[in-house]
Amino acid sequence: MDRLLELLKDGHARTTLMLASELNTTVTDIGRKLEYLENMGIIKKVSLEEPSCVESCTGCSGCGPRESGKSSKCEGCMPDKEILNMGEMWEVVHHG
């Protein structure tokens, strides 16, 4: 798990297959550990369906009304009916 987190934090993109290969384990093992890290708030799944206006969108008029602590669908970030087949993506959000 330590090594997995080190790899995730080194700034390089990797597929789950590559992570499994580098850590000499299985894709299933990587998958369950990513799920754990996600639940602990250490990594975050990139949402391609409902990009958040709250975190990064400061000047976008496409943002709907914001409720505290919740994201709102941002027309400026992702048009409606976007075609999606980008797989699953995660990014490290907790750098401690």
Q: Exactly one of 62, 64, 71, 72 binds another protein (CB under 8 A); which one? A: 62
Interface with another protein, residue 9, by CB under 8 A: yes
Per rule CB under 8 A, is residue 66 in the interface with another protein? Answer: no
Closest CA to 48 of 7, 91, 9: 91
Contact between 20 and another protein by CB under 8 A: the answer reads yes
Would you say 64 and 73 are in contact if contact means Cβ atoms under 8 Å apart?
yes
Strand, coil or helix: what is 4?
A: helix
Task: Say how far apart CA 9 and CA 14 lie, in whole Å.
Answer: 11
65 touches another protein (CB under 8 A): no
Give the pair of three-digit tokens for residue 82: 């976007």
Residues lying near another protein in the complex (CB under 8 A): 1-2, 5, 8-21, 26-29, 31-37, 39-43, 46-48, 51, 53, 55-62, 74-96
